[in-house]
Structure 1
């Protein structure tokens, strides 16, 4: 009798554990849990649908450089963008200038401003950071559940520049060329280094040649 009772209790324990170990979910919930963020697809869509249209309203580089010198507070409040609180701000610009030198990691360009010639660096080798992602102000941090997705967007946008914007430009550009550019730059609002402005290029063209941009 005792042996039978122990056996029944054993079966009850097994049944209880089995019941609590098996549960069902809706199929769409399972699929949602396995979906991965596609940074490459998002970046491609963002580039064509958000970033490119934003360039149409970006300030002229010469105007921005003059404003940063005469009224930096207005320049940052009017044109600076950021997804988070802090001193780092990002700017979109359109500009025109004369190539002074083509170097291993950058192209040095002089931009004519009201205050005089302003030298800027167009990055051509070290394309990284969040400037291109954040400068348009078109991405809301609250739309993303984790920082890895945001980092993936930056990485993919920067890769587009390496693969599709720079190669044809670098194959042709030389000292003395007049170029037109659009790009993104990063500045510290509290300690802006206006002596060394580096621009991550988004669009590049030489004289009347075709723009070097993604298809």
Structure 2
């Protein structure tokens, strides 16, 4: 009788030790922790701006304006990018232009192609226009929305802290420039005169 009891006590002790040494977590929690530990949105955004931005295709700003004014819904659905079921569409446009006015929140330019006016944002740089317009990231590739949203935050920071300051210090009225940037357009309530280009590239031409 002693041996069975001894074996039972040994088995019980081993079971308790094994139980206490195993820490069970939900798979989703593990994935979130791994993603949080390994994903760096700032590095991701910097890498994109430094190595991939030049390869992002764009539409001539004059063509973009003419097409959306002719058929905003059809053109947006065919050529724009959007997230989910939103009525906001995003585009990347570029063009050569001349500076007409320098305001507190934007620079007003006229396009060289057909003299239409556009606003290039110099303040209040926020939202998802860069991320969605360039398609630099896709929500299905991320375990949590925070990482996905932080890509927009860091991209906007690059524009705000790196691209705009040297440009604002030098630009003046009548300057000729080249720009490439992201635009958000709401197809349900389009306001063409209020479109703001979030600049990705700004070059003053000498």
| TM-score (normalizing by structure 2) | 0.82
Q: 1:112 to 1:78 in 2, by over 3 A?
A: farther
Aligned length in residues = 195
* Separation in 1, partners of 2:178, 2:36: 44
Match among 26, 35, 38 for residue 37 of structure 2: 35
Q: Equivalences for 1:42-53 in 2 at 5 Å?
A: 42-53=44-55
* Separation in 1, partners of 2:132, 2:36: 28
* Separation in 2, partners of 1:113, 1:70: 18
* Corresponding position of 2:64: 64
Structure 1 unaligned spans of 5+ = 209-215
Q: Is the 8 A contact 2:35 2:143 kept in 1?
A: no
SS in 1 for 2:191: coil
SS in 1 for 2:52: helix
* Separation in 2, partners of 1:193, 1:34: 39
* Corresponding position of 1:211: none
1:68 Cα offset (Å): 0.7
Q: Is the 8 A contact 1:67 1:74 kept in 2?
A: no
Q: Equivalences for 1:1-215 in 2 at 5 Å?
A: 16-23=15-22, 32=34, 35-54=37-56, 57-112=57-112, 114=114, 117-208=115-206
1:17 Cα offset (Å): 4.0
SS in 2 for 1:83: coil
Q: Is the 8 A contact 1:83 1:140 kept in 2?
A: no
SS in 1 for 2:190: coil
* Corresponding position of 1:212: none
* Separation in 1, partners of 2:34, 2:128: 28
- Higher helix share goes to which structure? 2
1:58 Cα offset (Å): 0.6
C-alpha RMSD of matched pairs (Å): 2.9
* Separation in 1, partners of 2:199, 2:36: 36
Q: 1:52 to 1:83 in 2, by over 3 A?
A: farther
